[in-house]
């Protein structure tokens, strides 16, 4: 019993002291998510309100067309005709993404999950108002974009902007992993030169401090004041990066001598 109490106490302490990076999430990620979901919903409403089910129009010749369909399954037409299962799976994924969004505090990871969450929200909530399909089944989602590219990967795939957001998020996640790998390689290389490693870590810390200072300054401020702080943030970031480039240049010149 004491072990359970200690575990509960430790969890509470962890949750209380954890760095959630709320400022960045509230000031940047949440507005971005709202905008993306709004764009997705507007596009679905325009298509469903101006086209007949099954109607096709050319959007960009030989590249992209608009083909209005109702997908009662999941992405790529999986579980077609079973909206209950599709909604259940989508709800589970959305909850998992929300948990990840809350606890991730690295900017790149957070942005990627934010974009993916926008796609997930866009589809799962839109199912509530989407028209019925040709079989009278409710709970589907409006799909309307189709590539006019004769390649196996693109052929027959009809999607919407929310699906596109998810695909973009996957790309961002892959990019984040690559950048993390590059960062790790950099630090391993710099370890051969302790002075350079220390200067590099100091450079990264200054960028982080500058960002946190900006996020703290704009909290509760008017748009005009926020813009002023943003320009200051950009100027400071530019100077910090300039100092790092200057250090690398001087270090290279010393080695050549």
Active site residues: 143, 163
Alpha-carbon distance of 250 to 239, in angstroms, equals 16
Quick one: angle between helices 107-126 and 83-103, nearest 10? 150
Q: Which residues contact 25 (CB under 8 A, 6 or more apart)?
A: 101, 110, 114
| Residue 206 near residue 240, CB atoms below 8 Å | yes
- Which of 209-230 are b and which e, b meaning 16 or more Cβ less than 10 Å from the residue's Cβ? ebbeebbebbeeeeeeebeebe
Strand partners, 143: 69
Q: What is the helix (H) or strand (E) element at residue 71, kind and residue range?
A: strand 64-71
Q: What is the sign of the dihedral through the CA atoms of 99, 101, 104 and 108?
A: positive
Please, is 23 exposed, middle or buried when counting C-beta atoms within 10 Å of its C-beta (0-12, 13-18, 19+)? middle
Sign of the dihedral through C-alpha 78, 84, 85, 91: positive
Contact 72, 80 (CB under 8 A): yes
- Distance (Å, whole) CA 169 – CA 16: 29
């Amino acid at each position: 019993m004491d072990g359970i109490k200690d575990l509960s106490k430790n969890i509470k302490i962890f949750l209380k002291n954890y760095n959630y990076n709320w400022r960045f999430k509230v000031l940047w990620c949440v507005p971005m998510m709202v905008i993306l979901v709004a764009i997705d919903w507007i596009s679905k409403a325009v298509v469903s309100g101006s086209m007949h089910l099954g109607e096709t129009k050319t959007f960009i010749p030989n590249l992209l067309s608009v083909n209005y369909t109702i997908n009662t399954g999941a992405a790529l037409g999986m579980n077609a005709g079973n909206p209950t299962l599709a909604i259940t799976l989508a709800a589970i994924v959305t909850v998992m993404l929300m948990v990840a969004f809350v606890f991730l505090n690295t900017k790149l990871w957070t942005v990627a999950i934010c974009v993916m969450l926008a796609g997930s929200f866009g589809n799962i909530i839109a199912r509530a108002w989407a028209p019925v399909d040709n079989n009278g089944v409710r709970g589907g989602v409006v799909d309307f974009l189709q590539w006019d590219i004769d390649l196996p990967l693109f052929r027959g795939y009809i999607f919407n902007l929310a699906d596109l957001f998810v695909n973009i998020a996957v790309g961002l996640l892959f990019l984040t992993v690559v950048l993390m790998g590059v960062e790790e390689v950099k630090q391993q290389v710099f370890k051969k030169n302790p002075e350079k490693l220390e200067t590099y870590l100091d450079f990264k810390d200054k960028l982080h401090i500058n960002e946190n200072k900006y996020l703290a300054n704009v909290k509760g401020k008017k748009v005009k004041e926020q813009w002023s702080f943003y320009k200051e943030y950009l100027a400071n970031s530019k100077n910090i990066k300039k100092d790092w480039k200057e250090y690398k240049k001087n270090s290279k010149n010393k080695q050549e001598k």
